[in-house]
Amino acid sequence: MGCGAGEALEALEMVTRLEECWAVRRLAGIDLSVVPPWLVEELATANRSEHSVHVANLATLVSVKHLPNLDLDPLLLAASGLLHDSGCGPFPHISDELMRILLGWEHPQNVGFILEKSVDEETSVLEEFGLSPEEVCRVIAGKHKLSPFINCIDGGIDLDNIDNIYRYIATVPKQKLGKPSYKPLEVVFSMRLEEEKVVVEPKLARKWLEDKKKVYSYLENHAENMAAWVMLSRAMRLLIPELDKNFLLLDNRSAFSFLTSKLPEITQNLLSKNYKLLENVSLQELTPEIRSMVKGKRADWTKLVGLEDQICSELGAEKWSLGIEIFQTQTREEKTWKLYLVSKRVDENLSKIWRKYLGLV
């Protein structure tokens, strides 16, 4: 049965105590936006700590009010909601590629590593409230019966994405994206579980999906955002031989400082907004040349860095002067791929070479 007021208070106490621990405090320095708003204006100002607290609160409300006929564990759901982003590295989604190279997984599977490295007592707090840290990690990693509420594998609607999209739109400066078309609570209260998938009232699901498309279309076509995204990823690719798993423990500013110590040309040009988005191409079908570089929904960094270096060598350009990105868009249900080229200089010859190597000519 759904939890009562006593269990809700217990969940609130646990969440409040965990908020004070490093695994959650660290997220205050990792923005909801992959590229931080202190680097590019017009991006959401929320951070992943406040987002995570809201997800934990929504998780508690699901347990208390909406699903009385399901055997939910309010403490487990709340803890999983609070810690769901704790596995993020700096500049999440960008550093997921580095994480895959260094550790063999992405941030939903990285929570155990973060808890292990923490100087605080997150695991002790969880155990004090009768929870197994390993079970919390399984929920977040998508390997538990409660996972559909926290980590919908196909990028569909879950507590994380309900708050994520709402909070992104709500905290973009000057209401560049307008106002969210839904309230998280109304979506949460319409939730139900069907065949191990979370579904919500169709009208609300459509509102959420349209808002999601709006957010990702905005980000994927925002020239300064994508220029910064590509060059942050380029910096990490160039430093793969020097980086170890401890880099993934940093927050955004600490990671940026580290990148500055190694590649000041990239970070200074990012701060000065000198990088330009030269190419932004959408494809429904990949060329054979691109397909050979793709792994899952993103370009394989070990192959992408080779292409970047080859183009730099052919042009006689500095390695820090340009970057490439390839990934599957999240704005549509159909498979659309985005291809980007960023450079410090506007160079038609560079664009021609880029298109040649990607089979676009």
Q: Are 259 and 239 in contact (CB under 8 A)?
A: yes
Query: Rounded CA gap, 280 and 220, in Å?
Result: 9
Q: Are 137 and 122 in contact (CB under 8 A)?
A: no
Kindly state the DSSP code that residue 298 receives in the 8-state scheme.
E
Tens place of pLDDT for every residue, the chain, 361 residues?
445 677 888 999 999 999 999 999 999 999 999 999 999 999 999 999 999 999 999 999 988 875 556 667 899 999 999 999 999 999 999 999 999 999 999 989 999 999 999 999 999 999 999 999 999 999 999 999 899 999 876 668 999 999 999 999 999 999 999 999 999 999 998 988 787 788 899 999 999 999 999 999 999 999 999 999 999 999 999 999 999 999 999 999 999 999 999 999 999 999 999 999 999 999 999 999 999 999 989 999 999 999 999 999 999 999 999 999 999 986 555 679 999 999 999 999 999 999 999 999 8
The dihedral through the CA atoms of 43, 273, 234, 284 has a sign that is positive
Query: Rounded CA gap, 310 and 34, in Å?
Result: 27
On whether the pTM is more than 0.85, the answer is yes
User: Structural domain boundaries of the chain?
Assistant: 5-214, 223-357
Q: What's the pLDDT at 153?
A: 65
Mark out the alpha helices in 172-315 (DSSP H runs). Answer: 184-188, 202-220, 223-238, 252-262, 264-271, 288-291, 301-315
Please name the fold of domain 5-214: Hypothetical protein af1432 (1.10.3210)
What is the C-alpha R_g of the chain? Answer: 21
Largest pairwise CA distance in the chain = 68
**Other residues' Cβ atoms within 10 Å of the Cβ of residue 261:** 9
Query: Rounded CA gap, 165 and 212, in Å?
Result: 6
Kindly state the DSSP code that residue 361 receives in the 8-state scheme.
-
Residue 155, sorted as left (phi over 0), alpha (psi -120 to 50) or beta, turns out to be left
Q: What's the pLDDT at 251?
A: 98
Render pLDDT for 38-91 as a digit per residue (tens, 0 to 9).
999 999 999 999 999 999 999 999 888 755 566 678 999 999 999 999 999 999
Residue in the block written with tokens 């105590």: 17
